[in-house]
Structure 1
């Protein structure tokens, strides 16, 4: 049943400012309106200065994260976000979950449920022992080690562990393209060095302020001699020598394609890419009718967007296979934490593509009349996919 939007947002506000908040995400847009950012995520963190509300936003090109103090600062920041015309809110607390969707008529459809995850029990350490990084590691104190962040770090590290061979030893050069606030970058370094590897890691982000922030954090952790950051675009940032492992986690839209293209040109041995939005192929699908008999796949906007996600990542994986990689698309983290939960995991094998792989890729592209950005970026290196 629809509810007045103002009353529903007042309830959301109370949950966002509740000390029991664990995570909240705002996304989408209301009919005929556009928020100033495409996504906002809120979560509590504990810093050296005390508890803070961490607010991470993205305008589709770059992320921005800030930590605000409880009280009037947090209330003002929350009110500003609630004033944005987001179409959806998802709020989790220790006790409950609320999902709000703004209808076309401007009312609120609200679903409320009790928390699905049991509260932690005193002295219960069995779950903590399963983490690849000890939750008490000083690393978490620096990045703000909330339970949700530890879960995401652990999910990422398990995907990384499954990608690299167990017998890997010696030196490992790593680059993280579009590293943002770099907490997964640092987590990778901490985990890999814990395996006895001699790791040299470079984080790339377009923002100079992020480079400075991440460099300062590397210095505080005592890792500045092995972990460095450069400001530049994914396509053009100078990274020398070429890396063995390429990370690209939640790079927006075609930025993921730029990261995959650089990985292929570097002939990187391993690639982990968690795509974010998929606007490029979605726009191409909107511009022309779907091939028969698939009109029902793209007639509805939400189905077209989800299909564009699937088609984009399927074509990316297919292109990687054509360039000598064994590529898989797997779940990154549980969908309850983020809808963008897929991970493209690739290992360089040097195997030439088969005629069947070439044919299947070409037929899929031709049937849907799309021009994958990754194919364009690799065109000079990949005559095999043009015919």
Structure 2
């Protein structure tokens, strides 16, 4: 692998990406130090449509994929726009060669080119199925009853499969980003990444997360599921034994607030915990100083009840006059307050769509990455204080963490 000027290396890759006779696939990922890219990952390939051959660009952000097709000048513009983005890695496959480019801190290109053992033919079909993080016949999906014995998703479990896939995309992107920013440590065989799922139930997402991170990404992982029901722990332990991962997972019986763990987790998951159970999960994550927290709240009764008891501040009466609007506003206000408290306590927070709204109305996910210590003043604290004072509410999370 040799270093060369970045612009020269990218210009060479540009020629390959614009050659629809040789390009098999090109992938851009990562970001250069101190830079931001529009998308987390981008894939390029040529497809044959009724209107002729087009360059297909599939760009992935934190939550979903965006696909567009380009021909002629539009294809050149699309490639040039992507080459202008500060991606850290490019992987370009042609019918005869494979090229790897890694951008160094000095903005040079470390280039490795290898010849294929035999020439391959590029797949140009436009109806290529969406890439799945866990294929339908994956053993964990069969063990969980999402797929049948023949490795096909059961018709009644399609929504659950979509939920698993979207969650894994969020988890994958969140871990990658947190590690890149130094917020989350790199896992090793001696110190695996420790993940706890609070209120795991039958642990669909727990097992899926373990399978993807350990078998697809190759990360050493130890995953703990916590649930108040002994039945859940017994069932999940049996599934783990059947999958041969008992040494890498354990299931604890206990409440979210009271469960005892031997080691502090690096990542905390709380997926569809009802009402203030989400607040209890966030409080545990804060107490553990978890590097990464992913919480998908379920119902929101606490703040809604407070809104019913308190007079609505002017000029917002229309937000609470009608029951359905009040409930929806309570959902939004609850999660906004949770995000604000996390920021006060030193986390960088964003709120994203968990799964598409047509699959479930509870589709919000709070993603928090530990960035520093508690904020004692300034705009972050003032934002929270103004919000609670205006609406006359006191979030449960605030009581649990002493904000």
TM over 0.5: yes
Q: CA deviation at 1:351?
A: 5.0
Q: Does 1:374 align with 2:375?
A: no
Alignment of 1:187-336 (within 5 A): 187-194=208-215, 195-336=217-358
- 1:183, 1:198 → 2: CA distance? 20
Aligned to 1:156: 167
Describe the superposition over 1:341-360 as per-residue Cα deviations: whole angstroms up to 9, x where unpaired.
00000111115535001111
Q: Does 1:176 align with 2:197?
A: yes
Q: CA deviation at 1:239?
A: 1.2
Q: Would the aligned equivalents of 2:187 and 2:221 in 1 still touch at CA under 8 Å?
A: no
Q: What do you get for the CA RMSD once the two structures are aligned?
A: 1.6
**Inter-CA distance 147–325: structure 2 relative to 1 (3 Å threshold):** same
- 1:324, 1:363 → 2: CA distance? 19
Aligned to 1:132: 133
TM-score normalised by the chain length of structure 2: 0.62
- 1:185, 1:138 → 2: CA distance? 14
TM-score normalised by the chain length of structure 1: 0.64
- 2:158, 2:394 → 1: CA distance? 41
**Inter-CA distance 125–134: structure 2 relative to 1 (3 Å threshold):** farther
Aligned to 2:22: none
Q: CA deviation at 1:127?
A: 2.3
**Inter-CA distance 337–291: structure 2 relative to 1 (3 Å threshold):** same
Q: Does 1:356 align with 2:379?
A: yes
Q: Would the aligned equivalents of 2:197 and 2:226 in 1 still touch at CA under 8 Å?
A: yes
Describe the superposition over 1:232-274 as per-residue Cα deviations: whole angstroms up to 9, x where unpaired.
1000011120000000000000000000000001000000000
Q: Would the aligned equivalents of 1:202 and 1:230 in 2 still touch at CA under 8 Å?
A: yes
* 3-state SS, counterpart of residue 176 of structure 2: coil
- 1:139, 1:364 → 2: CA distance? 44
Q: CA deviation at 1:148?
A: 2.3
* 3-state SS, counterpart of residue 173 of structure 1: strand
Q: CA deviation at 1:134?
A: 1.7
Q: Would the aligned equivalents of 1:174 and 1:202 in 2 still touch at CA under 8 Å?
A: yes
**Inter-CA distance 163–197: structure 2 relative to 1 (3 Å threshold):** same
Aligned to 2:57: none
Which ranges of structure 1 fall in alignment gaps of 5 or more residues? 1-122, 380-384
* 3-state SS, counterpart of residue 218 of structure 1: helix
Alignment of 1:103-122 (within 5 A): none
* 3-state SS, counterpart of residue 153 of structure 1: helix
* 3-state SS, counterpart of residue 297 of structure 1: helix
Length, aligned pairs only: 257
Q: Would the aligned equivalents of 1:169 and 1:196 in 2 still touch at CA under 8 Å?
A: no
